[in-house]
């Protein structure tokens, strides 16, 4: 049985001052070019040994769904996926996973995290030390603690990134932000977490990161949306090769070969009267009334 399915997103019940685990992430299925499928999902594995907190034994995994996609792996086996600038390894902070092509997103409650899958060849991912390789996308912070670099036009910052209501969730910059210096909706939950007036993980809140019609949409903890549009030149989609059409058969009455039959063709026939060669439409060796009639027939159908 695969080591998946028992993680969660931790939340807090203020009235009883107790933590609960909300159902964790569901798998995101990717269709491969050869028609096979794999699923991306959190899992736990003993190849890492967190020094002080057992909750940090999680990983992002690629699960094979048959016995043929990756040699020597059977349905349900998982491979390690490098997540870079992410908290995907915390088993009680497992949040929604989405895919767009080779882009893998984890909608953590502190930031939308994402990577681009680079190398998932058969030899990769079998061990933690040799994962499926990725490149890291800039995180999108739900609420960013004040820092020295703020751009309200682009929401881009070169600062390192701390979640405003929980200094324990920190990302390497640069990145983007939804809210600056204030908590994101639904706001602070008084009495929750370790310190009064701080937000907990907002585990009940729906949040996803998805791509639609060329836009990257980041859904926040309170249902708010931050939408990104690429400012450069998008990659063009492959265009089908044009179907070759047969060349049209030239009209014999087009004596001057300009593509149309006009009075100029009749004039050329008359100028070469009783000669042969160009203008001998009937190919009888002599330009005469039969050739002129062939041009006139096209001009006056």
Residues 211, 295 within the same domain: no
Residue 45 in any domain: the answer is: yes
Confidence band, pLDDT 50/70/90 cuts, at residue 36: very high
Residue 238 lies in a domain: no
> Do 223 and 254 share a structural domain?
no
Does residue 237 sit within a domain?
no
Q: How confident is the model at residue 269 (pLDDT cuts 50, 70, 90)?
A: confident
The verdict on 205 and 88 lying in the same domain is: yes
How many domains does one find in the chain? 2
> Is the same domain home to 158 and 118?
yes
**pLDDT given at position 289:** 85
In this structure, are residues 95 and 89 in contact, taking their beta carbons and an 8 Å threshold? Answer: no
Given a cut of 50, whether residue 190 has pLDDT beyond it is: no
Considering 177, 202, 229, which residue would you say is the last residue of a domain?
229
Residue 143 lies inside a defined structural domain of this protein: yes
187 — pLDDT class (breaks 50, 70, 90): low
pLDDT: which is higher, 7 or 31:
31
Domain boundary among 200, 229, 258: 229
Considering the domain boundaries, does residue 36 fall inside one?
yes
250 and 210 belong to one structural domain: no
Please tell me the predicted confidence (pLDDT) of residue 196. 39
Domain boundary among 177, 196, 229: 229
In a domain, 221, yes or no: yes
| Residues 299, 181 within the same domain | no
Residue 223 and residue 288 share a domain: no
Clarify whether residues 204 and 250 are in a common domain: no
Q: 94-98, 128-132, 201-205: lowest mean pLDDT where? A: 201-205
Verdict on whether the full-model pTM lies above 0.75: no
Q: What is the CATH number of the domain that holds 292?
A: 1.10.1330
pLDDT confidence of residue 34: 92
Residue 222, in any domain of the structure: yes
Same structural domain for residues 251 and 212? no
Domain ranges, residue 215: 8-229
> Does residue 236 form part of some domain?
no
- 102-113 tens-digit pLDDT: 999 999 988 999
Both 225 and 289 in a single domain? no
Question: Do 17 and 101 lie in a common domain?
Answer: yes
Average pLDDT over residues 270-288: 81
Do 215 and 254 belong to one domain? no
């Amino acid at each position: 049985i695969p080591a998946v399915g028992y993680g969660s997103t931790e939340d807090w019940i203020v009235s009883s001052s107790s933590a609960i685990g909300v159902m964790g992430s569901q798998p995101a299925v990717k269709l491969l070019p050869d028609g096979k499928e794999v699923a991306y999902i959190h899992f736990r594995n003993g190849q890492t040994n967190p020094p002080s907190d057992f909750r940090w034994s999680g990983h992002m995994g690629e699960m094979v769904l048959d016995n043929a996609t990756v040699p020597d792996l059977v349905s349900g086996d998982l491979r390690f996926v490098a997540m870079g600038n992410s908290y995907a390894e915390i088993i009680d902070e497992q949040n929604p996973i989405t895919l767009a092509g080779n882009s893998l997103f984890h909608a953590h409650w502190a930031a939308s995290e994402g990577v681009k899958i680079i190398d998932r060849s058969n030899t990769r991912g079998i061990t933690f030390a040799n994962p499926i390789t990725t490149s890291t996308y800039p995180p999108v912070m739900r609420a960013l603690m004040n820092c020295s670099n703020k751009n309200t036009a682009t929401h881009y910052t070169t600062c390192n990134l701390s979640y405003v209501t929980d200094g324990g969730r920190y990302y390497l910059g640069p990145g983007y932000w939804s809210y600056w210096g204030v908590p994101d909706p639904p706001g602070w939950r008084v009495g929750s977490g370790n310190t009064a007036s701080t937000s907990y993980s907002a585990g009940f809140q729906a949040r996803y990161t998805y791509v639609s019609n060329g836009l990257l949409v980041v859904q926040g903890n309170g249902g708010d949306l931050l939408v990104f549009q690429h400012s450069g030149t998008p990659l063009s989609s492959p265009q089908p090769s044009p179907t070759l059409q047969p060349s049209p058969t030239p009209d014999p009455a087009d004596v001057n070969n300009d593509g149309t039959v006009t009075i100029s063709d009749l004039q050329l026939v008359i100028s070469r009267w009783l000669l042969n060669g160009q203008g001998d439409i009937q190919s009888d060796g002599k330009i005469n009334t039969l050739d002129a009639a062939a041009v006139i027939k096209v001009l006056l159908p």
